[in-house]
Structures are given as structure tokens and as C-alpha cells.
Structure 1
């Protein structure tokens, strides 16, 4: 069994234009996430529940130690969070990722990346 990172990306402009989220909407979203991740965990395929990644107080350091505010301020899209799952293949990991609630959001994407051992040249 291999491990894969599911990296959640979202379009910052879509988030900004969506406006404020009501408590009921937030609860509904949390239920989707809990059910999706619970389904993966129930199949013993969740290696790490990961974390959401904030954007406030974020910095990006580039070559030459150039520091800018926020994640990738020159692009619209940013990484919102991640989980680590177990799958037999990248295709199986993609199938699991297709149920991710971030895909319901405008501009939501899931990037599927294999975790690589230190001695692997992948």
C-alpha cells in the first residue's frame, strides 16, 4: 500500500466573492468533510487527517531571502489544507479524492501526490 497526499487548493477570488458564510452553511460544510474523511478512515485508508492551512499571517520566502506576505501572492490559487491517505495506486487515490468536499466549491481542486521515500528518485 502506498501513501498519497491529497492537497486541497482553492481559488482565492472565488472565496472572496462568496461572501460571509452563515453558521448553518459552515455546519453543513463540516458535516460533508467529517463524512468524507470518516469514510476513508472506516476503510483504514487515512494515514493522517492533516490540517487546514491558514492564510492570515502567512509569509512566502523566495530565493535571495525575499519575503512577501501571504502564500503565493502572485497567483490567485492557494493551498487550503491536506490529508495523507493509503491507496494501492494513484488511480485509487484519485477515486478517493473525487469525493472531497472542496470540489463542491467554485475553484476547488485536489492535487494527488505520492509520498516519496528518501531513497526514491521519483
Structure 2
């Protein structure tokens, strides 16, 4: 079994606001989706949701505020899944709730570090 990271991306739209009821419905979809992955024994790590604050370090030790200085798309979080192939991991990603709100999921294989 291999591990793959599912990276959740969405357009940075600060004007987009959800009501508490909408937010609750979205969270329930996420919980159900991730619960299904866990029930199948495919959830290797729950990952994390990423906050809006950040800094980017560039060559020459240049530090800029925010991870979104030059892009319109943000990384909102990630999970790690276990799958035999990247195609299987992509099939798991197809159920991600972020797809219902205009986001996308990047699927990447994880290469273990040599010791």
C-alpha cells in the first residue's frame, strides 16, 4: 500500500461568506466523506486545515507576508490516504466536498525519505 497526499485548493475569495447553517452543512459533508475513507481503512492521516496567516521565504532571505501574494488560488488543507495506485487515490478524491464549491484536489504520491 502506498501513501498519497490530497491537497485541497480553492480560489481566494474573501468576499465569499457562508451562513452558519451553510457552514454546518459543508462540515457535515467533509465529516461524512472523511469518515467513509477511514471506514475503508484508507485514511493514513487526517491532515490539517490551513489558516489564512502565513509568510513566504524567498531566495536571499526575502520574507513576504501571506502565502497568497502572487496567486489567486490557496491551499486550504490536506489529508494523507493509503491506496495501491495514484488512480485509486484520485478515485477517493472524486468524493471531496471542495469540488461542490468550485475547488479542486491535487493528488500527489509521497516518496519516503532515505535514511
- Matching of residue 7 in structure 1 with residue 7 in structure 2: yes
SS in 1 for 2:14: helix
| Alignment partner, residue 95 of structure 1 | 91
Match of 1:22 among 19, 31, 51: 19
CA distance in 2, matches of 1:34, 1:117: 28
CA distance in 2, matches of 1:114, 1:99: 18
- Matching of residue 86 in structure 1 with residue 82 in structure 2: yes
CA distance in 1, matches of 2:87, 2:80: 15
CA distance in 2, matches of 1:85, 1:96: 8
SS in 2 for 1:3: strand
| Alignment partner, residue 69 of structure 1 | 65
CA distance in 2, matches of 1:50, 1:96: 15
Tell me the TM-score normalised to structure 1 length. Answer: 0.89
Unpaired segments ≥5 residues, structure 1: none
| Alignment partner, residue 29 of structure 2 | 32
Distance change >3 Å, CA 16–CA 72, structure 1 → 2: closer
CA distance in 1, matches of 2:48, 2:112: 22
- Matching of residue 49 in structure 1 with residue 51 in structure 2: no
RMSD (Å) for aligned C-alpha atoms: 1.0
Aligned residues: 114
Tell me the TM-score normalised to structure 2 length. Answer: 0.95
Match of 2:111 among 85, 93, 116: 116
